[in-house]
Every structure is written in structure tokens, then in C-alpha cells.
Amino acid sequence: MKGYKIIEMKTESDIRSVFPVMQELRPHLSEQSYVELVQEAVSVDRYHLYGLWNDGVLVAAAGFKPMTTLYYGRFVWVCDLVTTAGARSSGWGSILLQFIEGWAERNGFTSIALSSGLTRQRAHKFYEKHMQYDKVSSVFRKQLDT
């Protein structure tokens, strides 16, 4: 897997360049709402957005944020992880997660956590079998009428 680069997307232009890939994971977002949410998450939640480029083509993206809770302690929450449909099962997800794990270790965090949609069975197998993540909880959500 030579020729790839993982680059932090910091500018608005960088963030927009990742939208076509991120839209595969978050199809409910318009480009403008995506950019606004990323910029807010960066400023409020210390969110980091990275793109993985293979020979100049964006093939995967990941967004994560460092957190501290009583349950996990100091950890990194992977908010978004997506590989383009045409590049799935090529190892890019593993490379991005290993990159995030290294980032976490270098910055003094003790674990990585994420959630995955109930229907994403292939992703669950990838996390548990290939990446050695443990299934430790269920995530619950209540949509508020605001």
C-alpha cells in the first residue's frame, strides 16, 4: 500500500474536498451543513478530520475527537469512518484506524471507542475480528422535537 497519504483537513477548502466521501456515510447532510458541522465540531469539540489519499485520490476519511468521561477515562471517540464504495475491503479502514490509534497513544489517550449502526454487520465484523475492538455497550438515542 505505497503511495498513500493521511492529511488533516483544516481549511474550509480541505473540509469540502472530503464531502463526497463523507456523504457516503452521512447522506442526510448537504455540503453546506456538513462544512458548518465540521467547523463547529473542530472549534467546540476538538474534532479532527483526516483524509486518506491513495495516489492523489481520496479513498477514505475519518473524524474523531479526544474525550474524557468517567466510564472510559481519557479516550478518542471515532465519530466518522468511511471508505469509498469502490475502495472498500482494500485495507484503508484498517490504515485509518491504526493512524487514529497511534495519534491517541502519542497524545496520552488510553483507548478508542466508536459506535456503528445496527444494520452494518460487515463493519461490526471488521471492528471485532480484524481490528480487535470489543463490543462493550449499546448506544441509545432519543430525537427531541425542537
For 9-45, what is each residue's pLDDT tens digit?
999 999 999 999 999 999 999 999 999 999 999 999 9
What is residue 146's predicted lDDT score, i.e. its pLDDT? 80
What is residue 97's predicted lDDT score, i.e. its pLDDT? 94
CA dist 94 and 90 (Å) reads 9
What is residue 32's predicted lDDT score, i.e. its pLDDT? 98
Give the global pTM: 0.90
**Of residues 86, 77, 99, 90, the one with CA closest to residue 8:** 99
What is residue 125's predicted lDDT score, i.e. its pLDDT? 84
Q: CATH second-level architecture of 4-130?
A: 3-Layer(aba) Sandwich (3.40)
What is residue 1's predicted lDDT score, i.e. its pLDDT? 65
> Is the pLDDT at 118 greater than 80, yes or no?
no
Mean predicted confidence (pLDDT) in 132-137:
87
What is residue 36's predicted lDDT score, i.e. its pLDDT? 98
